[in-house]
Chains A and B, each alone.
Chain A
Amino acid sequence: MLSNYEVFKLLTDLKEQRKDAGKSKHSPGQQDLNTIMYETLKYLSKTPCSRQSPEIVREFLTTMMPQKLTKAEKLQLLNQRPQSAVEIQLMVEESEERLTEEQIEELIQTVAGILPGDPEQENAAAADAEMNEGAEQS
């Protein structure tokens, strides 16, 4: 199984390589490859994997080791970066039996801490928080 980050990196490297190659990429045979690369890169660049690096992935997996999650569950957490308990319950099977509420909260914190989030989303959240504080003060 591959993580989204690995596929993202492979496709970006391939794109760089093909840019250098020049004219061969527009031949009719290469059209399928161009299409699939373009669409997949477009999809993946909007997911959390576009902001990850090998070090981040390694750190995430080492932190996740004591948690006793299956490979598929860790992969989903890495690819989707869940931010709420509901999302974690979707990705981890029988989470009510295997994890306590504190552990779920801890998981959310680890995920949010190690995996970089969407800067736009975080700026919007920070702006909301500032507005709320301003409203409370006045």
Chain B
Amino acid sequence: MFVLVEMVDTVRTPPWCFHRQLNEAVAEELNKKLANKVVYNVGLCICLYDITKLEDSYIFPGDGASHTKVHFRFVVFHPFLEEILVGKIKYCSQEGVHVTMGFFDDILIPPESLQQPAKFDEAEQVWLWEYETDEGAHDLYMDQGEEIRFRVTDEVFVDTSPTGPAAAASDNAAQPGQSTSASAEESTEKKEAPYTLIGTICEPGLGLLSWWNN
């Protein structure tokens, strides 16, 4: 579930922190910068593991702070493909079942990866598994808050860096008569999750824990 990632970065220590140990000041800055953030193609950063190397600190003209190049290792949440994880169902929608693990929310199980045959109950907004036995069909509901075991099949990284003014200006120029609608679209633009996991529960043993506990 978690991996150790080696990274290198230059940390800026402001002058009012000069009384502190460099190690501590650097550790605090790194945690402040990376904790709970997704790094593109790496994963969700949790916390600093250790500092492997501190290079010399430099002070540049015009800035009173010292800049130090740091080699360090960070604990990152990045499950490997085919890993089995346990989470809770956040909610169900037409796109599938959304699962959360508390610290990581963007996990989706698309309808084709649910135990088949599966049906979406519009009234209750919940997916259910039509489980057939010799005695008849049982409808197993995937309710909110239920613990669910799933396998990771895919991960999607989206670069959510700001695009800058050039892209916005070209959009407005392309639709001169509809400038108000263009800005309305931008304001309702959905935020894309930078890191999404796609899962499956289409195997024996996967799905709600209550389905498989004797």
A residues at B contact (CB < 8 Å):
1-2, 4, 6-7, 10-11, 14, 24, 29-30, 32-33, 35-37, 39-40, 42-43, 47, 72, 76, 79-80, 84, 86-87, 89-91, 93
Contacts and interface: CB of A to CB of B under 8 A. Distances in A.
A90 B37 CA distance: 31
B196 interface: no
B86 interface: yes
Contact of B46 (A7, A30, A47, A79): A7
Interface in B125-164: 149, 151
Contact of B212 (A7, A72, A80, A84): A84
Given A72-B83, A84-B212, A91-B84, A4 B1 contact: yes
Contacts of A1: 2-4, 80
B64 interface: no
B31 interface: yes
Interface string B15-57: 0000000000000100110011100000000110100000000
Interface residues of B, number: 31
B206 interface: yes
B102 A42 contact: yes
B62 interface: no
Given A80-B84, A90-B206, 4 more contacts: A39-B103, A40-B103, A87-B212, A90-B204
A86 B103 contact: no
B101 interface: yes
B117 interface: no
